[in-house]
Amino acid sequence: MRTQDPKTIYLREYQQPAFWVEHISLTVSLFDGYTEVSSELTLKKNSTVASRELVLNGIDQDIQSLQLDEKQLSSADYHYAEGVLTLNCDSDEAIFRAVTRIDPQNNTSLEGLYQSGSMYCTQCEAEGFRKITFYPDRPDVMATFTTRIEADASKFPVLLSNGNPIDSGTLEGGRHFAVWEDPFPKPSYLFALVAGDLSSKDDRFTTRSGRDVTLRIFVEPQNAHKVDFALDSLKKAMQWDEAVYGREYDLDLFMIVASDFFNMGAMENKGLNIFNSAAVLASPDTSNDQRFERIEGIVAHEYFHNWSGNRVTCRDWFQLSLKEGFTVFRDTEFSSDMHDRAVKRIETVAGLRAVQFPEDNGPMAHPVRPDSYIEINNFYTATVYEKGAEVVRMIHTLVGPDDFRRGSDLYFERFDGQAVTTDDFVACMEQVSGLDLTQFKRWYTQAGTPRLSVTDDYDADSQTYRLSFHQSCPATPGQTDKLPFVIPVKLGLLGADGNDLPIHTSANYNAGTEVLTLADETTEVVFTGVSERPVPSLLRDFSAPVKLSFGYSDEQLAFLAANDANGFNRWDALQQLYLRAILSMATEHRAGRSMTPPSVLVETVANVAGDASLSHAIRASMLTLPGYAILKDAVDVVYIDDLIAARKHLVKTLATRYRDIWRSLTEKLSSEAPYEFNAEESGRRQLQGLSLWYWLKAGDQAAFDFAAQLYASATNQTDRSNALRAVLAGDAEALQQSLLSDFYEHWQSDTQMVEQWLTMQAGTPGMTVTGIETLMQHPAFDIKNPNKVRSVIVGFAMNTESFHDARGEGYALLAKVVQQLNALNPQLAARLVTLLSDWKRYDADRGKMMASALETILATESLSSNVFEMAQRALKD
Ligand code: B3K
Ligand code: ZN
């Protein structure tokens, strides 16, 4: 157990530093066994701060020499403890020089400079630069960088850093060097360096002002055939940001590097994005449609950060959502424009409900702009990213698209080259729109998902219809009482013929956007001239991230699913029907009674499956049942066995009742055409995959044959993985084993395919802890590789039935893995802790076992502050 609890950082304690850095000159010299880093900081006193203390962060720095101006510093001149070096600096302008040694080859934390396979790369966000050299490693210190890299020329022919290459040459002893200069002042978290034996591919983009930009992607040679899609996505993103935000790229070179060892998806380092290989390498043969879509979105996301994040960055890490919420909003809009907007909205909301809502509904809940943290890496969460994007989306809804664009223009112009706050962003939107967003900003400061309950009343005599809204927000850690939120509710009123009735109201309703804005705990809205009792369609397009309840009958939901003019709400109505059905069946199961899904639901499913007016993709999402994350979030106590039994029973009922529909859809949706990734084609494949899955659940031999045949003849990974997913979900064990071993046999030299193979196995029904332990012994597994850990461990935790096995062995295994990773990669270890954080929602027995796994974790020797913070928050009342 740790001797001292790590320090908590508070937003309210933010202070500017006493010294700014105007420029840093860095020389990084890679040697086998160690790396030498020499840095020269051009310091300038911050006149608004009285202190003369120079505060530099530095972790695992083996000091060779330190110098302030002409003075060599001895240990009496500075204080260096717990990663902070402090010294006094009497002049207003000074040069600080440091020569230190670091050990990237043994850096398994994948923060700072580290080795990834045969290459070196960096990850500096949030606080990795302090593992490279002494520096005020905080985002409000923005400096220009010159970086010189020296290394063995044959092992590391490619040497990269941010900005433009300005010099290169050979050195003695088979070594060489390259010098890079980044003219844009940036915080240290955007620094990057890469050295390796990489192959590259170039493309070009001409900006709208006519500048020619070279786009260059670097990968290990065996991946050279997997780069085209990322380059195309990049060009689309560049074009989109010019068209939609008026933002142009600012350097002559934009580079992307793929790394196999990476803690997250990708990183937006200025001019030199570094990507997790899995988030950038694509080919039809190894990436399914979902993967293509994800890669396109991430490439765009990182590119968009060049403005929302790099040119305008965060003052401190509490402002993380300033860049992340905004950039997620931007990449989501980009994807909506590239493909199908309604489908994208459905995917986004399904993801929000499955991940962010549960986070907001448990011990990990925190505001979009947190008030405090121990380890900032623990706050790269769905709340900061996805809820943060919803908050930006609501601003977009409230001010309208034109003012939003004017507001973002103002924001980029006013704050270019600065480190700012979410308040600064909102202030721009207020200025251009004239709206007062003071109350709206509670979305940034209050955690928890608001509940919006709605009742209605119709008076035929006066033809008035009344909706009464009541909002509340449950207590979250550290926040018991919440004030009302501003909630934009997009709505329509459906008449019996399924069409929208005209809306007349004196409430705060915008007829152009169909948005009603609520600001009070209770709001009564009266609609006049309503000729019949309508069915309300509320929260269209999910206009606010709230949990809405309205006492719909099953028939009304089915009616909305069939008729709503809003595609999103059609989907959502059916989701509510599924959810209700499963929850009530689970209650029956618990009571030992038989389960029967409501016939109105069963009939609606057939209608949707056969509704040719709906796109394939919309049909597929409408026919997809809510997953366990959403089911769990909807109950007070999670009796997981009952939820599993109920969900399975519904699947079985739909599968067997409609086996002919599934069969005919599966067969009809086959295509011989060569693979193309677009909305139309991926929708077709998605619906075929789902139909095949249902058909196979009906147990028909013909379905197994079809799947085996689809697998064998597949010319792309989407068809192949659809076949595999269906087979793995069924109970034909021999077929499962034969396909899985064939897959590995065939693809073992392809890293991305091996990761998918691991994930599939971890997710197989009937997977056991022993099975996972065996998988972890497989040569393809590597505990030091986050992708492999995520494939197996997160894959297993998502396998609800197996992970929540009543004996609790899954929890114990997870605790063991966290303990092991605590020493190797604290950031990843801390992520895994969240898989146990909802322990209190389970039945008492499971809850106890999950909590005891957390206790085990908390008792680990030399516990990292990352894991400590997460385990302790998870266990706290
Ligand atoms: N900004 C990075 C995330 C860094 C995470 C550090 N633990 C990727 C992104 O959001 O674009
Ligand atoms: Zn981001």
The mean per-residue pLDDT over the stretch 624-648 comes to 98
User: Per-residue confidence at 1, pLDDT binned at 50, 70, 90?
Assistant: very low
The mean per-residue pLDDT over the stretch 546-567 comes to 98
Which residue CA neighbors atom 2 of ligand 1 most closely?
A: 267
Residues 6+ apart with CB under 8 A from 100: 36, 37, 58, 61, 62, 63, 64, 133, 134
Nearest alpha-carbon partner for 252 in 285, 211, 289: 211
Domains of the chain: 9-197 (2.60.40.1730), 312-445 (1.10.390.10), 451-544 (2.60.40.1840)
| pLDDT tens, residue by residue, 490-537 | 999 999 999 999 999 999 999 999 999 999 999 999 999 999 999 999
267 pocket-lining for ligand 1 (C-beta < 6 Å): yes
301 pocket-lining for ligand 1 (C-beta < 6 Å): yes
Contact 355, 380 (CB under 8 A): no
CA dist 554 and 199 (Å) reads 58
Tell which one of 259, 324, 330, 383 to mutate to probe ligand 1, the residue whose CB is within 8 A of the most ligand atoms: 324
pLDDT above 60 (res 398): yes
CA dist 748 and 758 (Å) reads 11
324 pocket-lining for ligand 1 (C-beta < 6 Å): yes
- From the CA of 127, how far away is ligand 1's center (Å)? 11
125, 302, 359, 390: which one is catalytic?
A: 302
Contact 8, 374 (CB under 8 A): yes
| pLDDT tens, residue by residue, 290-314 | 999 999 999 999 999 999 999 999 9
| pLDDT tens, residue by residue, 447-485 | 999 999 999 999 999 999 999 999 999 999 999 999 999
Whole-angstrom CA distances from 787 to 248, 277, 782, 796, 810 are: 33, 9, 9, 13, 20
Q: Are strands 19-31 and 418-420 parallel, antiparallel or unpaired?
A: unpaired
pLDDT above 70 (res 877): no
Q: Tell me the average pLDDT of the chain.
A: 98
Q: What is the pTM of this model?
A: 0.99
pLDDT above 60 (res 862): yes
Which residue CA neighbors atom 1 of ligand 1 most closely?
A: 267
Contact 220, 152 (CB under 8 A): no
The mean per-residue pLDDT over the stretch 797-823 comes to 98
42: which 2 tokens?
Answer: 């051009």
Q: What integer pLDDT is reported at residue 783 of this predicted model?
A: 98
Nearest alpha-carbon partner for 355 in 490, 478, 449: 449
| pLDDT tens, residue by residue, 219-247 | 999 999 999 999 999 999 999 999 999 99
Run of H or E residues at 809:
helix 809-824
Q: What integer pLDDT is reported at residue 2 of this predicted model?
A: 52
User: Per-residue confidence at 4, pLDDT binned at 50, 70, 90?
Assistant: low
Tell me the CB-side half-sphere exposure of residue 565, using CA atoms within 13 A. Answer: 14
- From the CA of 306, how far away is ligand 1's center (Å)? 13
Please state the atom number of ligand 1 nearest to the C-alpha of residue 298. 11
pLDDT above 60 (res 3): no
| pLDDT tens, residue by residue, 90-147 | 999 999 999 999 999 999 999 999 999 999 999 999 999 999 999 999 999 999 999 9
Nearest alpha-carbon partner for 39 in 91, 95, 85: 95
| pLDDT tens, residue by residue, 317-347 | 999 999 999 999 999 999 999 999 999 999 9
Nearest alpha-carbon partner for 842 in 869, 795, 810: 810
| pLDDT tens, residue by residue, 256-265 | 999 999 999 9
pLDDT above 50 (res 584): yes
Q: What integer pLDDT is reported at residue 731 of this predicted model?
A: 85
Which residue CA neighbors atom 5 of ligand 1 most closely?
A: 125
The mean per-residue pLDDT over the stretch 188-198 comes to 99
3-class DSSP state for residue 89?
coil
What percent of the chain clears pLDDT 70, i.e. is strictly above it? Answer: 99
